[in-house]
Amino acid sequence: MRELALNILDIAENSLAAGAKLIGISLTADFDEDRMEIGITDDGCGMDKDTLARVTDPFTTSRTTRSVGMGLPLFKFSAESAGGRFHIESEKGKGTSVTAEYRISHIDRMPLGDFGGVVLQLVTMNQGVDFRVAVKVGKAEGVLDTREVREILGDVPLDAPEIRAFLRDYIQENLVSIYGGRL
């Protein structure tokens, strides 16, 4: 993968496959500390201890269409290659939490990429799932919680063309004001 946003999409798709009904995505950056952290949490089915111990091995996958799973191993590799760390916790029946930390200035850190586009895709293409996306850079921060959006919209679905267009603009405008394309 050439950008971290695609890693986020892949991990969120794992959460969807695990039956999650609420997925949290967090992005925190501190340019003074030269640190960026990406977290994905879910309330899906979780993993037992044996699976959790093997999950960053590319030859461990729950897919039946192929015997290789690269999402978590690549996410881990991207963090560790950029002077950061990777951590995963999971409990059967309770969900999973994945965190990747990066040195922002590290030459091997992949660009964040189209984070806003990934958020828009996840939010509008998964009607039965709620997302809480939190972004914080310095003192600037923003949260998009689909539970709040759905409460305001009532019966209007998030994938309605006019709602999708509004969300696209809202997400992009807020991301620009929070981190201004510096990631």
On the question of pLDDT at 48 being above 50, the answer is yes
Q: Looking at residue 67, what is its pLDDT?
A: 35
The arithmetic mean of pLDDT across residues 41-65, rounded, is 79
The arithmetic mean of pLDDT across residues 143-167, rounded, is 97
Output b/e per residue, 142-160; b: 16+ Cβ within 10 A: bebebeebeeeeeeeebee
Q: What pLDDT, in 10s, does the model give residues 101-141?
A: 999 999 999 999 999 999 999 999 999 999 999 999 999 99
The pTM (predicted TM-score) of the whole model is 0.92
What are the C-alpha distances in Å from 37 to residues 29, 44, 143? 6, 22, 16
Output b/e per residue, 4-35; b: 16+ Cβ within 10 A: bbbbbbbbbebbbebebebbbbbbbbeeeeeb
- What is the 8-class DSSP label of residue 160? S
Give the CATH fold of the 4-179 domain. Heat Shock Protein 90 (3.30.565)
- Token code pair at residue 46: 């979780």
